[in-house]
A and B are shown apart, each in its own frame.
Chain A
């Protein structure tokens, strides 16, 4: 790990500017305080809802990229812009109210801002964006930044709101009081940006601001004690560092850069956090590096302070706000009576018990409908386009039927189609979310739904992601990024696939139409009832699973469920489009490859072996035979011959796929699925549907010689008949599909995780393989148990 940088010597008097040439600064640190020729590094921080993303986009435009860090689920955006002849790299840190980390995600921001990461040098300047209409609360974060010993520039955004409030901000006075440059901007109209960019350059040259005296002396003394202890025990850290997680997180450079330094000085701000944030991320960070002895020291320091009447939990907010209020005196003046607050008026309607709820329901219905039905025409269009283009390409490049053509059409083209088909739903959902979030309604929606979600152990922000998952879990899971709390977010992601998505409908419809509709009990209410039950299974299990997860795998501290309700504003179209495109592209790039790969793998498992032995001992090459039949069908002149050839082709296809690797796996797994009332053919169909649930219908079609395309009325009737007449292969003539079997199949598909796209998106959003694997395991287990229970209980009821 790099040597930590000393920018705030404990011995400096308050008000004294940090001199880059301080005697105890080491040469490498001196160099990094002076402006480097070359790329300047800046970090953008600020509260949520301050227009940070708008500012980032306005500065960097399209020159931006996202990065992931191991162990952290939050994505960090980096962008570039130029000022004069200097290049600036800007890191967009997640919005936060305070730099007091309690999770790896929050700790990452602190690490980046202090330059504690191996490969990420500290920023040369910190840009803090604040909502000028709520100055005091916003400046809390700014006040913390002043302690970091780096140049800070304050960008006051939303100056138009300030005008509406009838206020005026004396930015010159504010600048003087805070000791940092203050630049009023309006990010959505790109006002003040040039001045901001210039100010960044200047502030790097001018160096860091004076550190404010905020804490009582007793506190600072204890911090000095800890600093001293740390530098005396540097050896302790080097000894531990060879094999702890710490080195892995830091990039594995164990102690090599520390060998020159005996005295080691950590940024003072970090020591503040160590003392103030009991059981926070910084405590953990230091604990990993120095062990329990340090933690003991810290506890003792805390007790000593408590004895002196200093309550650490409330200390920082109290002293910081006190300092802030001092500094802000006379800076904000009310020069006119405030204009009517639209926000207050709208809120009276939108959070109203009756009207608010109705409007909310209507909006949610609109969102849901648009991803469930509205997206369909677009999805069909995309699928059709891709398969048409694919076919033409195949006819042009691979006209001969054979393995390559099959790989191309049934593996690759189908795979690409199955990735691209999600784009309309993803983009529509994110379009809605962007509008709702930008205008400020999203927070109200979370407010209205919070109690309901709390019953499931989640919070109001989980509502929209879970609702969307009823249409499709992929955009739903991606939408969980609005949830800040890591545990909540994970829990929501893990239960989202339990919401019966639209892909399960073909299975439900097939089973219900074939086996439930024909049964006379309860008349025509029964099919609807069964369909509803399938949905209810997911809805009822989800909170149970969420509860279980939070007790076991996702154990941790309960977050504080406070939510800010920002002022309403008209959403910016450019931001909405940006979000739609950003999410769509992110999905394609990160999940698309996985989905495509798995489609190709399943293709291969269904394709090979392509030659085998028929029942009467003949050797047969299925691929060759099927191709021959297709060519004959093209040449055939009358309908009867065509129909005969067609049914022969279907039979052959069935034989082929049944003896494929996947078919063999199905046979092999049969003992496992027998208790569910299934035979190997149903098992095979379930296996084949791993890439996507709806494939099970087509696969059943193939297995039962009806063919894969079961779309029109005639084909689906044929499939239904085949299923109704299917018998067990043991010669007893027993029907394969009984009502309990149909039900167990439906319950299996209600709960199973047969959707590689979902797993791929989970991998993407959680930035690890652990969670998609966990999802697959727990859902398959649940599905198996559910199907088992359904079949056995159903059988007992049916008396067979």
Chain B
């Protein structure tokens, strides 16, 4: 299971689930992070956190702590590479 915060710049994933049932989860979804959508990591801030991601037409900055809630399927093949 890959989480968003583990992805690196250039990697993409399809959102499988947003963990949690609090306002944080709701806010992530309101901003367009919905199940089935593709999310792409554009950059990491100099200190490694937060992440700049693209989902739909939006560019968002998300802290890794919140990105952790987003479970993705890795579309860039890193999952397979890792298991090899």
* 0/1 string, A557-587, CB within 8 A of B gives 1: 1001111111100000000000000000000
In terms of DSSP, what is the predominant structure of the interface of chain A? helix
Q: Residues of A contacting B26 with CB < 8 Å?
A: 100, 313-314, 316-317
Q: Are B30 and A100 in contact (CB under 8 A)?
A: yes
Q: Is A137 an interface residue (CB 8 A)?
A: yes
Q: Residues of B contacting A357 with CB < 8 Å?
A: 46
| Interface positions of B (Cβ within 8 A of A) | 18, 20-32, 34-35, 42-50, 52, 56-63, 66
Subset of 5 A-B contacts with CB under 8 Å: A100-B26, A140-B30, A313-B22, A314-B29, A566-B59
**CB < 8 Å neighbour of A318 from B21, B29, B49:** B29
Q: Residues of A contacting B63 with CB < 8 Å?
A: 450, 454, 561-562
**Ranked 10 nearest A-B pairs via Cβ:** A317-B29, A313-B21, A451-B47, A134-B57, A563-B61, A565-B59, A560-B27, A447-B61, A351-B43, A451-B49
What is the chain A residue whose CB lies nearest that of B20? Answer: A313
For the complex with contacts A318-B29, A348-B43, A451-B49, 17 further pairs of A-B residues with Cβ separation under 8 Å are: A100-B26, A135-B57, A136-B56, A140-B30, A277-B23, A278-B22, A280-B23, A313-B21, A313-B26, A314-B21, A318-B35, A321-B29, A354-B46, A447-B50, A450-B63, A563-B61, A564-B61
What is the chain B residue whose CB lies nearest that of A167? Answer: B57
Provided the pairs A314-B18, A314-B25, A448-B45 are in contact, do residues A561 and B50 lie with their beta carbons within 8 angstroms?
yes
Q: Residues of B contacting A279 with CB < 8 Å?
A: 23
How far does the alpha carbon of A333 sit from the alpha carbon of B23 in the complex, in Å? 34
For the complex formed, measure the closest distance between the CB of B61 and the CB atoms of chain A, giving whole angstroms.
4
Q: Is A102 an interface residue (CB 8 A)?
A: yes
Q: Are B34 and A317 in contact (CB under 8 A)?
A: yes
How far does the alpha carbon of A454 sit from the alpha carbon of B50 in the complex, in Å? 10
How far does the alpha carbon of A352 sit from the alpha carbon of B21 in the complex, in Å? 34
How far does the alpha carbon of A562 sit from the alpha carbon of B21 in the complex, in Å? 17
For the complex formed, measure the closest distance between the CB of A340 and the CB atoms of chain B, giving whole angstroms.
16
How far does the alpha carbon of A100 sit from the alpha carbon of B21 in the complex, in Å? 15
Q: Are A562 and B61 in contact (CB under 8 A)?
A: yes
From B30, B43, B52, residue with most partner A Cβ within 10 Å: B30
Q: Residues of B contacting A567 with CB < 8 Å?
A: 59
Number of interface residues of A (CB under 8 A): 50
From B23, B32, B34, residue with most partner A Cβ within 10 Å: B23
Q: Are B28 and A562 in contact (CB under 8 A)?
A: yes
For the complex formed, measure the closest distance between the CB of B62 and the CB atoms of chain A, giving whole angstroms.
6
Q: Are B46 and A137 in contact (CB under 8 A)?
A: no
From A278, A314, A443, residue with most partner B Cβ within 10 Å: A314
How far does the alpha carbon of A704 sit from the alpha carbon of B59 in the complex, in Å? 62
Q: Is A715 an interface residue (CB 8 A)?
A: no
How far does the alpha carbon of A279 sit from the alpha carbon of B42 in the complex, in Å? 34
Provided the pairs A137-B57, A443-B61, A450-B45 are in contact, do residues A351 and B52 lie with their beta carbons within 8 angstroms?
yes
Q: Is A343 an interface residue (CB 8 A)?
A: yes
Q: Are A278 and B23 in contact (CB under 8 A)?
A: yes
What is the chain B residue whose CB lies nearest that of A321? Answer: B34
**CB < 8 Å neighbour of A446 from B30, B61, B66:** B61
* 0/1 string, A434-458, CB within 8 A of B gives 1: 0000000001001110111010000
How far does the alpha carbon of A572 sit from the alpha carbon of B29 in the complex, in Å? 32
Q: Is A347 an interface residue (CB 8 A)?
A: yes
Q: Are A347 and B29 in contact (CB under 8 A)?
A: no
How far does the alpha carbon of A313 sit from the alpha carbon of B25 in the complex, in Å? 7
For the complex formed, measure the closest distance between the CB of A275 and the CB atoms of chain B, giving whole angstroms.
13
